[in-house]
Structure 1
């Protein structure tokens, strides 16, 4: 056992921030530093601090096949917060404080700003927060330090437009001429982590002789890095979070009347395999659920109907209504909330446009985003097909594209 040791005990390890970035109130993070001394000990100082770091690193996609393998990695780190408090203050005459043998508890209060972006474990980096304590002793004695992680989440104000939109029922449909209509439905746009997400797939035939071959439900997470606050995307990563496929055999299932199919997606734990919604000037995390229905016509042609819709991944508490935890807040034009001030990546990322003219940086967009909109598609300049333009209209795509094609590949057909 060391002669002296310290540890940090937080009253809560989750920081909940409320409201729009420019108006959000701060948060007081409280806790205590527990110091244990085996003998009477002279202490020069004891400091506690809260720090936040945003680390981003990715390799740009090449502009052409010939440039593959020659792209230099882009790394951009940024300090989001650095707040400290002295619990034992050294005197002007270098005097010390004397602690008797045993355990001593020193409480602290750190006032945090209200514009911090939420914690995230990204495919190309992370946003993380830590509380650290450092005990400085006199003479040749070894100093002591301790640290513990803190999770930051952002909450909307009560009754905000976006919170109401997230809680609205999800319903998106696709129709193949007048032959069949397929609808994806759910009681809300909110999906909790570490839980089963129940969806309903409704098939309504308009003619006889149709056969339902398969239903494929996929929940994707789209993480995007932007060059600046103008929402110019420079890098995007997409991963499948959950998937459920129902196949009806080689002959399919007769679809002669309206039928409903319940499909459950097994959602993973947050920060491990899925991230909560995130919107900052430099990084976004979005989620889309995509239903693909394969329908066989009487003449034998198989048509693939693809229905994407947005969902918001929230903590269990937010999804169950015990606390409100969507990541958005109402503003004058119902814009998506910005969760940090001037999060503009350093020179390496700012110069990225000069490094590459690849697909992810081909479209320069400086316009204001419309209500509930995401950045435009970096390939074609149209609104990102991975989400709804707003919560009142479904973004529906009907395609004959081959199996396993990405939903973004529909851009050329829109």
Structure 2
């Protein structure tokens, strides 16, 4: 490449001849005498400004500034001087550009960095997170670099999920996106979290559905005629224990202590293991299950090497046979809590039985404790009345 040096002006740069296409080099490079490092690169059909410099570490670098005459000499010198100032302070003007070029796509970050972390840090929910990524987020953002996903993209996805799903589901997606970008921010992948400040939808779908005594009787009667008794037993244990569906399906015999009446859950939604106390009915059910084979799973699938996948079809059949409507498998857990409260359990005890990480989650069952509250209020009222009567009696004695 030919090297030439002179004071750049707009006029003399306009006058520069285009590069000879027959030359061995691809372009001709000219240097400005006014600003060290400012170059004009003249090709066969274009003229462009560039800045050449050397970092503190000795690395030689080339920074394109723009084409001429789209930017003129004054603008090119201003840009070059700004870069020169960064170099003089020991920095690298192309550091940000390099970081953006090296930035992973959304799919790469999720698959290679976030999900491996999630499976270690919060194994109870990582599978659901991966499902959300695979089904909803990667089809939209998979090929985009992390820095190319903005607040508007997050808001549009949040709104689209609300159109096709419940407000709660849309909010779970927003929470996952925010958690993903918080980690990307913490690990130096991005400069900001595009989900920060996006408001969650108001959730009015805190649906409460509890089985009545009559429905429980009809449901268990229908279960007797169901061919898939393994799935039936799993559903019964969900009602007897208040465990979540996946906790029941993933139950292993090595974690069940029938003699001690305990069932250990090594992985829960909160990420912490916990024990579940087994009632006599639950122990009888598990004892019956233990005699069916040698699978390590309490509720094995067809071949025994994997757990039962999903009892939903069985559940739908027994609901139809029992004439019970508008019930989800998760409502068996709600029904357990309802029965516990009605049996005299305090909300604190229900929180412990369900493994809730905070009392706020258990407060949804507070209205079921009305009878207990009325008894307490009645006792308080009786104490006040007795105190008032006692005081009135003392006054009468004094007067006498």
**Normalising by structure 1, what TM-score?**
0.21
Q: Max radius of gyration: which structure?
A: 2
The higher relative CO (CA closer than 8 Å, separation ≥ 6) is in 1
**Normalising by structure 2, what TM-score?**
0.22
If each structure's helix is expressed as a fraction of its own residues, which one has the higher value?
Answer: 2
